[in-house]
Structure 1
């Protein structure tokens, strides 16, 4: 059955109020709207204004504004994670919980067939009253959920997890390669933290997954099949895959400043480094990173947020750095056209944090891949690419999780040296992987099958 013969659905989207969640929810909305389905997208006012340009089907995708209530301790006017320090996220999720009656009233009026959600674990309860199917749509890797957010992961309610408990994967976890190392397992401690009023992060997510009608991932079986099967067995309900839903390639030409700068260099010569819009480095690690890239003697473009304690990127750079890299390197603290830069013939290496979006962009690009993960899901994504698929190199860190300029330089040179056997091996594996992912209709076939699975619900 092709997408044209599927029944047409009305689907409501209610993601966590963070741009890292809005964007992938809007990407899947575009794919569903392209196939004739109607989308109602719930979000705050400021986010609507910022996301409007990504709505490719405004006749089919309608934004509905949710007002975020005031919660004590949350700065006035807060609507998304971008408005606050990360430490205040539990207050924002508590505010979103207070939108329950507002959301219920809107859904009663809209009468969707499905509601896609993530952190709002009470959505499945509304489904009983209002008569829709609930889909827990997860925008991180299945490997991350499989190790952290399954019933087999025992998380005490009265204390924080110990380091030994954090190190131990849940019973039946399907990989001996995609694991945390000792210093990394601490990144799971947040599972025990309160995330909203009277509920932990672990409870909020596992309750939502236990009570929903289906769990869905923005991934494909070719990369994460065993993890999806494990999650399906743990929760005893359908796990639906959308494939790697990526934004449509930009039709706009790249700005002259980037075109002109990149044009100065030979094919595949430039090192491009970016860590996404959310990650902020410690000052020392920021300086080790840029110094390590400089040590390679290769031309480079670094796009990072100013590190902790610095108002601007320029304030954070080591003394004499700008003078030394003049004409050969560029460091900026503003957003850059990442996909277009990765596709430029002069760019040959992508140094990134392996967030889920960057993971897919790495695989689809022609660049060698060097990874410096920082958070839990990034670490496991990195292991998928470096250990399982063997398409990337991970920068070495010490027992405290710190990397040095020497380890950054070594990793980049390992893959960029034209005579490097490691680089040749990784590039060969990446080409095989890319061939699968870029097969005609690979992505669209996943979406069509996903719609068929929704029909069965």
Structure 2
């Protein structure tokens, strides 16, 4: 029976680990149901993936497509974490050169579906010509995608929103009251690359619009329990199937082995009192400026809380600006905190009972991992969707944003210290601690996550079968 057929799904994420990891989580959930997944990325990124559980490894084929060389992109730079922010445009150009290799791979492997991210806006057209169904999976939650708007406007040479200021208010297609919008400093940091029609490269807005337009369905990292109104907005905007796939909580597998790095980190955390440590980390994309690092450090110091700070001093070896801590900071905080400039297992740190709060950039994977572990959030946004994520969390009293200057985004160490103590210690911040615990079931309920994946698989089968019946899809 067609309903029992094992599906073969190709998953093709953008070259950022904030995108690769949730795509891998979805791959694991699909493989758990007995379906085959070809997970496609570049060689270095495939080699840096977390280890797969042994029972899933036979069902997830890791496929390496060499990244074409382009001028100005350094050798061995295959992910956003390898390069400064101003070089990401060259990474996208190299990624676009994968069109032919991807077409050849799809033609030879004959999958039923391909799931793709926002950057390869060209995948849907390639898949359609080969008779393969395509699903756009941008990894952003539904409020972010709804705020961005309809594909026709995102792709237009004369969009409705031409100036940065127009992104600081909710758009007219949101039919309910909301504060979800960028703050001025947030949109100014990304407007030229993401939305400007005059951008000499393909803008992120165009990539997203074309990805929606060229796909058969759209998958969103959302759940109806948390954001039903936003999902409905997307259905109205896209006029095609929009499927929520749950929040895809992280499920790291290490084979039961503790590596040396985690062993010393755990030893330090074990010595701290329960719920007292602030964990500070801003993901693989965000890099504060030197001035911002100074104010964060002094703020953490003034809070008088124990801290564990994962500080990326460079975005890869080609980043000329190496961040430095304020003079005397490490001496003054000796014994009270840890600054880790290398790899750290975020999920394990957040799961430790001594951690009582998370100072985060609001990247959605980090948000979900915090909620998994019931850690209240202090928010400090830097790039891309982070501002919109922060507004969602603020609205629901799940996170508190450090006060900042609206024009340039600057902030003072006193605000950092006060925000940390409010969310982690003070009585008036109890709402943030309680809301995180309250929302945990919506985000990481294992049975509900399984149901979302079951519904997805059912829809993929039904959609493909309907296409086959009406002759809209060529069968191999």
* TM-score, length-scaled by structure 1: 0.90
Alpha-carbon distance, 1:312 to partner: 6.0
Q: 1:347 aligns with which of 320, 331, 355?
A: 355
2:365 maps to what in 1?
357
Q: 2:308 aligns with which of 296, 301, 321?
A: 301
Alpha-carbon distance, 1:55 to partner: 6.4
Alpha-carbon distance, 1:88 to partner: 2.5
Distance 2:271 2:61 in 1: 44
2:243 maps to what in 1?
240
2:195 maps to what in 1?
192
Secondary structure of the corresponding residue to residue 401 of structure 1:
coil
- Say if 2:167 and 2:181, in contact at 8 Å, map to a contact too: no
2:204 maps to what in 1?
201
Q: What CA RMSD, in Å, does the superposition of the two structures yield over aligned residues?
A: 2.6
Alpha-carbon distance, 1:307 to partner: 6.2
Q: How has the CA–CA distance of structure 1 residues 34 and 439 changed in structure 2, closer, same or farther, with 3 Å as cutoff? A: closer
2:295 maps to what in 1?
288
- Say if 1:283 and 1:307, in contact at 8 Å, map to a contact too: no
- Say if 2:404 and 2:410, in contact at 8 Å, map to a contact too: yes
Deviations 1:53-112 (A, max 9, x none): 246522111122212222233334443333433222222222222222221111111000
1:102 maps to what in 2?
101
Secondary structure of the corresponding residue to residue 128 of structure 2:
helix
1:451 maps to what in 2?
457
1:216 maps to what in 2?
219
Structure 1 portions without partners, runs of 5+:
none
Is it true that 1:327 corresponds to 2:321 in the alignment?
no
Q: How has the CA–CA distance of structure 1 residues 40 and 154 changed in structure 2, closer, same or farther, with 3 Å as cutoff? A: closer
Moved more, 441-450 or 80-89: 80-89
2:25 maps to what in 1?
27
Alpha-carbon distance, 1:431 to partner: 2.0
Counting only pairs closer than 5 Å after superposition, residues 124-273 of structure 1 correspond to structure 2 as 124-151=124-151, 153=153, 157=157, 161-174=162-175, 175-189=177-191, 190-193=193-196, 199-250=202-253, 251-253=256-258, 255-273=262-280
Secondary structure of the corresponding residue to residue 327 of structure 2:
coil
- Say if 2:169 and 2:179, in contact at 8 Å, map to a contact too: no
Distance 1:272 1:310 in 2: 27
Deviations 1:396-451 (A, max 9, x none): 1112211110111111111222xx33322222222221134344512212211221
- Say if 1:195 and 1:204, in contact at 8 Å, map to a contact too: no
Counting only pairs closer than 5 Å after superposition, residues 387-426 of structure 1 correspond to structure 2 as 387=395, 389-399=396-406, 400-417=408-425, 420-426=426-432
Q: How has the CA–CA distance of structure 1 residues 379 and 15 changed in structure 2, closer, same or farther, with 3 Å as cutoff? A: same
- Say if 1:299 and 1:328, in contact at 8 Å, map to a contact too: yes
Q: 1:433 aligns with which of 434, 439, 449?
A: 439
Q: How has the CA–CA distance of structure 1 residues 265 and 443 changed in structure 2, closer, same or farther, with 3 Å as cutoff? A: same
- Say if 1:144 and 1:376, in contact at 8 Å, map to a contact too: no
Q: 1:9 aligns with which of 7, 10, 13?
A: 7
2:466 maps to what in 1?
none
Distance 1:440 1:75 in 2: 41
Alpha-carbon distance, 1:334 to partner: 1.3
Alpha-carbon distance, 1:364 to partner: 1.8
Q: How has the CA–CA distance of structure 1 residues 97 and 115 changed in structure 2, closer, same or farther, with 3 Å as cutoff? A: same
Moved more, 167-176 or 366-375: 167-176
Secondary structure of the corresponding residue to residue 277 of structure 1:
coil
Q: How has the CA–CA distance of structure 1 residues 44 and 257 changed in structure 2, closer, same or farther, with 3 Å as cutoff? A: same
Is it true that 1:42 corresponds to 2:40 in the alignment?
yes
Report how many aligned residue pairs link the two structures: 448
Structure showing greater relative contact order (alpha-carbon pairs closer than 8 Å, 6 or more residues apart): 2
Moved more, 33-42 or 164-173: 164-173
Deviations 1:210-265 (A, max 9, x none): 11000111221222222221112111011111101123254444733112211222
Q: How has the CA–CA distance of structure 1 residues 413 and 6 changed in structure 2, closer, same or farther, with 3 Å as cutoff? A: farther
- Say if 2:149 and 2:237, in contact at 8 Å, map to a contact too: no
1:120 maps to what in 2?
120
Alpha-carbon distance, 1:332 to partner: 1.6
Alpha-carbon distance, 1:305 to partner: 0.7
Distance 2:63 2:199 in 1: 24
Moved more, 84-93 or 111-120: 84-93
Distance 1:439 1:103 in 2: 35
- Say if 2:155 and 2:209, in contact at 8 Å, map to a contact too: no
Secondary structure of the corresponding residue to residue 165 of structure 1:
helix
